[in-house]
């Protein structure tokens, strides 16, 4: 039995609460993962996990062992990462998470160039617009857009996402008689707005007067917009806006090509919309990985 590998497997099983999840990460079978943990239990002479058909829980001995061995595994990984980083050679899997839209439009090109620079690295890219538990899913690094909530994750800010107010030209063309394109944030109350629910602000859209507006520079307005569609998916927002269903309040990167072609119009150009911070976040113990550091540098360099 490879004692270190068995310890690493046990830590991941305890973190994720699943043999099958760890098996998928390691590209092996659930039986092989279970056998590794069972072999470790035989060597230690104690039961680490209580298994039933529906649940998996640490025993008292397993809890104590987990707390000690998790730190040890993290320290070994950090030591190995330092050596690998010094040699400028990265190897093995890097598990990366992001939202669907950002992952497809912005992160994927960076993943492609990163893999070209580091051919011995493999990336497992998980895209999801919902909440992802990085520890449970075994994620090394994730992109988070928006203000971060307090957590035990280690965060590194790598840029900002500029937001714009946009609408498809067909939406503007088909406005009902008497309704004009908005010239002031308050005018949005007359319009159908596509609301993204993945941020805490939801339908509260904020604006700050710029130099070209009719109000004093810096004057702010927060409008609680309404519309026929709300969603937690950036891809659904993108589709709805591009189909002329309503007005969007979204990151510029989501519509770069459509804005450049004139298919989408930027509304209220004299009003500024708050940008969203972009962070890379990692669980404790993984942020010191050489792969995470070098990948973070790569993303930050291109985000700037």
Show which of 67, 85, 103 is a domain's final residue. 85
DSSP readout, 93-144? EEEEEE-HHHIIIIIHHHHHHHHHH-TTEEEEEEE-SS---HHHHT-SEEEE
Do 169 and 258 share a structural domain?
yes
Do 266 and 183 share a structural domain?
yes
Q: Residue 131: pLDDT band by 50, 70, 90 thresholds? A: confident
Do 265 and 178 share a structural domain?
yes
The pLDDT score that the predictor gives to residue 81 is 57
Do 7 and 74 share a structural domain?
yes
Do 93 and 20 share a structural domain?
no
| CATH number for the domain that contains residue 202 | 3.40.190.290
Do 240 and 199 share a structural domain?
yes
Q: Residue 231: pLDDT band by 50, 70, 90 thresholds? A: very high
Stretch 229-256: mean pLDDT, rounded? 96
DSSP readout, 163-219? EEEEEEHHHHHTPPTT----SSGGGGGGS-BEEETTSTTTTEEEEEE-TTSSS-TT-
Do 49 and 189 share a structural domain?
no
CB atoms under 10 Å from CB of 209, counted, come to 20
The pLDDT score that the predictor gives to residue 141 is 95
| CATH number for the domain that contains residue 286 | 3.40.190.10
Show which of 36, 54, 85 is a domain's final residue. 85
Residue 87 has pLDDT above 70, yes or no: no
Number of domain units in the chain = 3
Do 153 and 286 share a structural domain?
yes
267 vs 71, more confident: 267
75 vs 102, more confident: 102
Do 104 and 81 share a structural domain?
no
Whole-number percent of the chain with pLDDT over 70: 95
Q: Residue 79: pLDDT band by 50, 70, 90 thresholds? A: low
Among 66-70, 154-158, 171-175, the minimum mean pLDDT is found in 66-70
Dist. CA 149–CA 59, nearest whole Å: 31
Dist. CA 182–CA 172, nearest whole Å: 10
Containing domain of residue 35, as a range? Answer: 3-85
pLDDT tens for each residue of 158-213: 999 999 999 999 999 999 998 999 999 999 999 999 999 988 899 999 999 999 88
Do 115 and 30 share a structural domain?
no
Do 264 and 169 share a structural domain?
yes
Do 141 and 169 share a structural domain?
no
Stretch 261-285: mean pLDDT, rounded? 94
The pLDDT score that the predictor gives to residue 243 is 97
| CATH number for the domain that contains residue 26 | 1.10.10.10
The pLDDT score that the predictor gives to residue 21 is 81
This prediction has a pTM of: 0.74
Residue 83 has pLDDT above 60, yes or no: no
The pLDDT score that the predictor gives to residue 299 is 95
């Amino acid at each position: 039995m490879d004692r270190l590998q068995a310890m690493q497997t046990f830590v991941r099983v305890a973190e994720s609460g699943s043999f099958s999840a760890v098996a998928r990460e390691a590209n092996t079978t659930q039986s092989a993962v279970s056998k590794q943990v069972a072999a470790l239990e035989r060597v230690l002479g104690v039961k680490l996990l209580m298994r039933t058909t529906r649940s998996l829980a640490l025993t008292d001995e397993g809890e104590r062992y987990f707390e000690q061995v998790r730190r040890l595994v993290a320290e070994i990984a950090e030591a190995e990462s330092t050596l690998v980083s010094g040699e400028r050679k990265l190897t093995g899997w890097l598990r990366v998470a992001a939202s669907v839209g950002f992952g497809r439009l912005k992160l994927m090109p960076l993943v492609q160039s990163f893999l070209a620079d580091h051919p011995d690295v493999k990336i497992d890219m998980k895209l999801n617009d919902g909440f992802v538990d990085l520890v449970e899913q075994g994620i090394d690094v994730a992109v988070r857009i928006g203000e971060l909530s307090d957590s035990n994750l280690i965060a590194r800010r790598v840029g900002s996402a500029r937001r714009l107010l946009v609408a498809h030209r067909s939406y503007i063309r088909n406005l009902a008689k008497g309704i004009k394109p908005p010239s002031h944030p308050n005018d949005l109350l007359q319009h159908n707005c596509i609301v993204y629910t993945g941020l805490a602000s939801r339908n509260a859209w904020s604006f700050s007067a710029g130099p070209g507006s009719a109000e004093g520079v810096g004057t702010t307005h927060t409008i609680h917009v309404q519309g026929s569609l709300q969603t937690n998916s950036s891809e659904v927002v993108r589709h709805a806006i591009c189909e002329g269903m309503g007005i969007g309040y979204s990151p510029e990167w989501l519509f770069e090509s459509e804005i450049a072609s004139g298919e989408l119009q930027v509304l209220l150009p004299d009003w500024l919309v708050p940008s969203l911070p972009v962070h890379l976040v990692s669980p404790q113990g993984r942020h010191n990985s050489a792969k995470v550091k070098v990948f973070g540098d790569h993303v930050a360099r291109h985000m700037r």
